[in-house]
């Protein structure tokens, strides 16, 4: 009788494997198509990335040195008043600095602080006037 149980178990396993294979075949084909599409999109992104200039709107030569940027007191009030003085929206400031719109918002609400090159760029902007900033912004859009 033990032999009959193993035959049934083996047959059930074989049928289950066959059913799984039948169910997964279309999914595997879709997966291959999607992987091919992802590779194509990565190539497109890389080509577009090569066309984008390395600087984030402001010329790297214009940035103040890192020590000066670290010493500057940059808080939410400063960022908001700087943006208003230069006549920029949050979106325009984000484009100018090369950061996301939400990053500018979190800086202005005090939930985060700009670091590194972003901090340098803000200190550099403090020394600029509306016309200079608008000119740089028009070149980066």
Every domain of the chain and the residues it spans: 1-52, 60-140
Q: Per residue in 23-81, pLDDT tens?
A: 999 999 999 999 999 999 998 888 876 665 544 555 545 677 777 777 788 889 989 99
Amino acid 120: pLDDT: 85
CATH 1.10.260.40 for domain 60-140, yes or no, is yes
Dump pLDDT digits (tens) for 1-25: 678 899 999 999 999 999 999 999 9
Residue 103: partners with Cβ closer than 8 Å, 6 or more residues away: 94, 112, 114, 118
Report residue 141's pLDDT band, with 50, 70 and 90 as the boundaries. Answer: low
Q: Would the pTM of this model clear 0.85, i.e. be above it?
A: no
**Distance (Å, rounded) from C-alpha 33 to C-alpha 79?**
47
Q: Which of 67, 58, 54 is nearest to 116 (CA)?
A: 67
Report the pLDDT value the prediction gives residue 125, as an integer from 0 to 100: 86
């Amino acid at each position: 009788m033990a032999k009959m149980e193993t035959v049934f178990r083996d047959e059930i396993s074989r049928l289950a494997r066959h059913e799984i294979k039948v169910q997964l075949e279309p999914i595997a084909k879709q997966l291959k198509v999607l992987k091919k599409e992802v590779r194509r999109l990565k190539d497109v992104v890389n080509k577009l990335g090569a066309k984008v200039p390395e600087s984030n709107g402001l010329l790297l030569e214009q940035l103040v040195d890192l020590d000066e940027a670290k010493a500057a007191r940059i808080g939410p009030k400063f960022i908001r008043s700087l943006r208003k003085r230069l006549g920029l929206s949050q979106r325009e400031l984000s484009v100018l600095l090369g950061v996301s719109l939400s990053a500018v918002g979190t800086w202005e609400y005090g939930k985060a602080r700009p670091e590194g090159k972003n901090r340098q760029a803000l200190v550099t902007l403090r020394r600029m006037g509306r016309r200079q900033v608008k000119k740089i912004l028009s070149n980066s859009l």
